[in-house]
Amino acid sequence: MASISVQLEIFKREEIALQVQSREEKGKGAVGRLRRLTGMLPGVLYGHTQAPFCFKAEARVLERALGQGGQNAVFLVGVDKSAVPDRAVVREIQYHKVRGDIMHVDLLRVDPEERLRISVPIVAKGVPAGVRTGGGALQQTLTLAEMECVASELPSRLEIDITDLEVGQSIHVRDLLDQEGRIITDPGVTIVSVLAPRLVVAATAETAAEESAEAKGAEAPAKN
């Protein structure tokens, strides 16, 4: 099947300076009190055969950075302002189960020249012509692309322009490979499609029928 022309924009990861302090507090109780008593968030920096470094950072600073794209950024982690900072990416964020507050952050050291396999968000930009004028419905089935690249060139996201997509047309991974050869996701995987109106109606009707059947089954009296 022939590829279609896709406008692709690749965004490089932002670099964010993060000043941290060595953390002596250990154990669930002591770490849990950090934020409440000092306004600090705990974390661990590890990787590259170096010993894990337990740190704490100002909660407002770290939360602001993570909320403004830091989850897809490269952090320049500094302890001593005169030393060369460690380059790191977010490995894991732990949230409070009830409040949703950030409780702990794991950062992974990266060497600018090492090759990494990462998942990069795919963002669909615009409203397809098939939705605007054809009554179709947009369906995005792939939101992350697997990529392999050197750490110094890590993308933060891939943005595809879908404004010219007509009813019945789809964009597949293979349609991006001429512009971005570092993608290693299966080329045949569909990213976005514009469904025909009849398919949308059929899918809606089928769902309604299933829900009606379930409701009738629940209302049916039990037989002795």
Domains and CATH numbers, the chain: 14-109 (2.40.240.10), 115-217 (2.170.120.20)
Instruction: For residue 45, give Cα distances in angstroms to 14, 15, 52, 125, 162.
Output: 19, 17, 6, 35, 39
What pTM was estimated for this model as a whole? 0.70
Residue 83 carries which side chain, given as an amino acid letter? A
Q: What is the pLDDT of residues 66-118, one digit of tens each?
A: 887 778 889 999 987 767 899 999 989 988 888 888 888 999 999 888 898 98
Q: What is the pLDDT of residues 132-147, one digit of tens each?
A: 998 999 999 999 999 9
